[in-house]
Structure 1
Amino acid sequence: MSDATVILQMICPDRPGLVSELAGWVAANGGSIRHADHHTDAGAGLFLSRIEWQLQGFGIPRDVLPEAAQSLGERLGGEAQLHFSDDHPRVALFASKQSHCLQDLLWRVQSGELPMQVPLVIANHPDLEPLCASFGIPFVCVPVSRDTKAEAEQRILELLEQNKVELAVLAKYMQVLSSDFLERFPQVINIHHSFLPAFKGAQPYHRAWDRGVKLIGATAHYVTEDLDDGPIIQQTTVSVSHRDEVEDLIRKGRDTERLALARALRLHLRRQVMVYRGRTAVFA
C-alpha cells in the first residue's frame, strides 16, 4: 500500500482557479501530489485534469474516496473518476489467427509491464490455443459466421460477465462488433493496421501500396459503432519505399501494430487517457 497512488480524472466547465482548487483539495486532505496534468479546451469551454497523489497518509479513507471525488466533481459542475494504481483490471484479449499482437501483450503482462489480469483469451479460430497454453491463459474459441453472429456475441458477453471482465482488447480479432454488443459492453480497445483516418476498413496495406505511400502506421483506438472511427489513443509509424512490396508493408506494419497497441493499453491502464467530445486527451 505504501507505493499505491490515487488518480483523479476531472472534466468540468473551465473557469479561473481550478488548478488551485483541485490541488488545494488534495493538499487539505494531506495528499502528496506526484503528477499533475491539465488541459483547457477553449473551443468547448472545458477543463481537463489528471492528478495523482500518494495514498498513504491521505486523510480520506480509501473506501469513501470515490464518493468524495464524485462530490467534488458535482461541486465543480463536471464529472470525476477515481482510480487506484494498485487495482489491476481484468482484461479479456480477443484474437483470430494472427499471433503477433496477442503474444506481445501476453509477454508484457507476464513481465509485469502491463498492470492487468488476463482471465481468458477469446478467439473465433482455434489456432492460437497452444500459444495461450504456453502462458497458462484459458482459451475459449467462439466461432463466428454471418448466420451465427448474434449467438456468438451473446456467448462472448456471457463469458465476459462470468469472468468479471472490465475491458476487452481486440488484438487482431478481425471481426466487427455489433452496436448491440457495444451497447452492452462499451469498454473495448482495437488495433487497426493503418494510420487512421487513412485507409479505413479491410486490406489497408494493399491500398497503401497501391497509392505508393512513404509512411505507414497503426492506430489503437476505442471502439464505437462507426467502423475504425473511435477516439484515438496511440499511433505509430514506419517509413516505406518504392522498393517495398505488399509483404514488406505487412511485415513492417506488424511491428507498428504491436507497439501502438501495447502503448495504448498501458496509457489506458495508467489512467492517462481522457475521452471527451469523441476525442482523447492523453497525459503521457
Structure 2
Amino acid sequence: MATTEWILTLSCPDRPGIVHAVAGVLADLDGNITESQQFGDPASGLFFMRVQVEAAADRAQLVSALEPVTQRFGMSWGLDVVGRRQRTLVLVSKAPHCLVDLLYRERYQDMPVDVVGVVGNHRDLEEIAEFYGKPFHHVPVTQDTKAQAEARLRELVAELDVELVVLARYMQILSDELCRDLSGQVINIHHSFLPSFKGARPYAQAYDRGVKLIGATSHYVTGDLDEGPIIEQDVERVDHSRAVADLVALGEDVERRTLARAVRWHAEHRVLLDDHRTVVFH
C-alpha cells in the first residue's frame, strides 16, 4: 500500500510513558518511525516531542488512533504531511534582502513555504514580487490609517488562507490584538543590538560604539515589542577596520540567513513553543 510520511508534534506535562504510548500507537498502525526527537524541560515541567513516521494510514485514522493518548496525557499536538508547503504571506517595507532570499529559497532550494502574496507599505519591492510571480498588495500605513491597514491584512490572511506571516524587515508594529489572534504564526527578524541602539541608523550607532559583533534575531511576534519567543540567532565578528557600510552589509547578510532558518524550521514543524521560549528540534 502507498504510504505517507507524517510529522507529529506534541507537548504535555512530563510524566513516564509518553514515548512508549505514542510509539505503540504508531506501531499498531504499522508505522515506521524515521525520525524522533524529544525534550523534557525541567523548568516548565513540560515534555516536547517531534516524530516523523511513514504509514499507510490516512489523517482520520491517525487522529482516531492518537486521540485516546492525547487525552490521557493532556497533549497539545499537531499532525501534518512531511514537506507540505505552508501558505505564507510576506510583509515588507523598503529593504529587499530578506524578501529576495526567501523567494529564491522557495523557488530553488526547496524552502517548504508557498508564498501566496507579498504586502508592502511602500511599492519599492513590487518589481521583485512580480519577478517571482507573486501577487503584490500595496497597503500603505500612516498613523491615521493604521487601523484600516491592519484590517486589510486580516482580510488577506483570511482570503488567502494564510498559515504563516513573515515580517521580512517590515518596519511597522502590529497591534496587540493581531499578535494575539496570530499567536505562533508570525515570525520577525531584526538586528541583535536591542535593547541597545534603538531607533534610526542602528548600525551607525553601533559603529560609533565600536561593536565587535554584528548579529540578528528571528522570533515569534507578540504584543511585547521585539521580545517574543526566539527561534534563531546568528552573529558575525567585526573589527575597527569596518566602515558603517560594511556593518550594514554584514547585518543584512546575517539577517537574511537567520530569518531563512527560522522560517524553514517553523514550516518543518521543528519549533515548539515553551511559554516565552522555544524548543527547536534540528
With normalisation by structure 1, the TM-score equals 0.92
Q: CA deviation at 1:236?
A: 1.2
2:95 maps to which of 93, 98, 104:
98
Unpaired runs of 5+ residues, structure 2, are none
Asked whether the 8 Å contact 2:215–2:236 carries over to 1, the reply is yes
1:41 maps to 41
**Partner residue, 2:221:** 223
Contact 1:95 1:173 in 2 (8 A): yes
Equivalent in the alignment of 1:54: 54
3-state DSSP of counterpart to 1:119: strand
**Partner of 1:118: helix, strand, or coil?**
strand
CA distance in 1, matches of 2:68, 2:194: 38
- 2:13 corresponds to: 13
Deviation, structure 1 residue 28: 2.0
Distance 2:87 2:241 in 1: 44
User: 1:119 maps to which residue?
Assistant: 116
Which of 259, 263, 266 is equivalent to 1:265? 263
Cα 1:135–1:3 change in 2 (3 A) is: farther
Deviations 1:211-259 (A, max 9, x none): 3221111111100001110111111111111122222111101110110
Decide which moves more: 105-114 or 165-174: 105-114
- C-alpha displacement at 1:261, in angstroms? 0.6
Name 2:164's counterpart in structure 1. 167
Amino acid at match of 1:245: A
Q: Which moved more, 1:143-152 or 1:2-11?
A: 2-11
Structure 1 unaligned blocks of 5 or more: none
CA distance in 1, matches of 2:114, 2:264: 13
From 251, 262, 267, give the equivalent of 1:253. 251
Alignment of structure 1 residues 58-73 onto 2, 5 Å:
60-73=57-70
| Whole-angstrom CA distance in 2 between matches of 1:106 and 1:160 | 19
Shifted more, 247-256 versus 205-214: the winner is 205-214
8 Å Cα contact 1:196/1:219 also seen in 2: no
Instruction: Return the TM-score normalized by structure 2.
Output: 0.93
Q: 3-state SS of the aligned residue for 1:117?
A: strand
More displaced stretch, 4-13 vs 253-262: 4-13
* TM-superposed deviation, 1:160: 1.6
Residue identity (%) = 46
In structure 2, C-alpha distance between the alignment counterparts of 1:154 and 1:130, rounded to whole Å: 25
Q: Is 1:234 equivalent to 2:232 in the alignment?
A: yes
Task: Report Cα offsets for 1:16-57 as digits up to 9, x if no partner.
Answer: 2322222222112211001110111112221111111113x3
Structure 1 segments, 4+ long, off by >6 Å, are none
* Distance verdict in 2 for CA 1:17–1:196, change over 3 Å: farther
Give aligned pairs, total.
Answer: 281
**Does the C-alpha gap of structure 1 residues 121 and 28 become closer, same or farther in structure 2, counting only changes over 3 Å?**
same
Does residue 158 of the first structure (1) align with residue 180 of the second (2)? no
Counterpart-to-counterpart distance in 1, 2:216 and 2:270: 20
Alpha-carbon distance in 2 for matches of 1:170, 1:224 = 13
- Over the aligned positions, Cα root-mean-square deviation in angstroms equals 2.0
> 1 or 2, which has the higher strand percentage?
2
Q: How far, CA to CA, are the matches of 1:159 and 1:8 in structure 2?
A: 29
Rounded to whole Å, the distance in 2 between the matches of 1:255 and 1:3 is 40
C-alpha distance in structure 2 between counterparts of 1:273 and 1:195, whole Å: 24
Matched, 1:32 2:50: no
Q: CA deviation at 1:201?
A: 5.8
Instruction: Say whether 1:183 aligns with 2:183.
Output: no
